[in-house]
Amino acid sequence: MLIRRDDSLLLLVDLQEKLAPAIFEGERVIANSIRLLEGARQLGVPAFVSEQYVRGLGPSVAEIRSAATDAHFFEKTHFSCAAEPGVIDMLRAARRPQVILTGTETHVCVLQTAFGLLGAGFEVFLVADAASSRTPENRSAAIERMRAAGIQIVTSEMVLFEWLHAAGTDEFRRLLPLIK
């Protein structure tokens, strides 16, 4: 199934100051999440950003906070965003059945969020080049497990091109710098 711009929302999970430096390929995860935030902003796709226990892990990294000007931020203490009271209702209020998921750590908060969203009836797309863990082994195991459960594994470019749907448009020309 393809990602449809009018049916999707973007959810960034726990890209936070104290955790980010320990993440395998963390700079790439942050850069690709920022690309998606910018694409979502330009194309009118709602974006949400979770922050796990801010007092302990700090807020989202500065680059994410700067890029997420239109995003809705929320704090959580559950590993799964879906288990946090009110979050499923907040996402359902966007009236978009597809969730584009990025963040850290892939084998903990991202995985548990993906399964919770799947269980709540959402179509879940994990952006593999915008999700990671402290070790590549944990990241790989989580992606395998999500794929086996029916979660779609995509890349940030796949998301952007599927949101755009066609070349030769003003939207395509505006988003081209994010793709090049």
Q: Is the pLDDT of residue 127 over 90?
A: yes
Distance, CA of 18 to CA of 118 (rounded, Å): 29
pLDDT at position 178: 86
CA distance 164 to 8: 12
Supply the DSSP string of the chain, one letter for each residue: ----GGGEEEEEE--BTTTGGGSTTHHHHHHHHHHHHHHHHHHT--EEEEEE-HHHH-SB-HHHHHH-TTPEEEEESSSSGGGSTTHHHHHHHTT--EEEEEEE-IIIIIHHHHHHHHHTT-EEEEEEEEEE-SSHHHHHHHHHHHHHTTPEEE-HHHHHHHHH--SSSHHHHHHHHHH-
Give yes or no for residue 8 having a pLDDT over 90: yes
pLDDT of residue 175: 86
pLDDT, residue 60, reads: 95
- Annotation says 18 is catalytic: no
Residue of 70, 109, 170, 180 marked catalytic: 109
Marked catalytic residue, from 6, 7, 14, 129: 14
Instruction: Report the chain's mean pLDDT, rounded to a whole number.
Output: 96
| Confidence grade of residue 180 (pLDDT, cut at 50, 70, 90) | confident
Q: What pTM was estimated for this model as a whole?
A: 0.96
Instruction: Convert the pLDDT of each residue in 70-123 to its tens digit.
Output: 999 999 999 999 999 999 999 999 999 999 999 999 999 999 999 999 999 999
* 3-12, 113-122, 167-176: least confident range: 167-176
Residues 54-71 pLDDT 10s = 898 999 999 999 999 999
Does residue 177 surpass a pLDDT of 90? no
CB 15 within 8 Å of CB 64: yes
Band of the pLDDT at 145, cuts 50, 70, 90?
very high
Q: Which of 7, 76, 170, 180 is catalytic?
A: 76
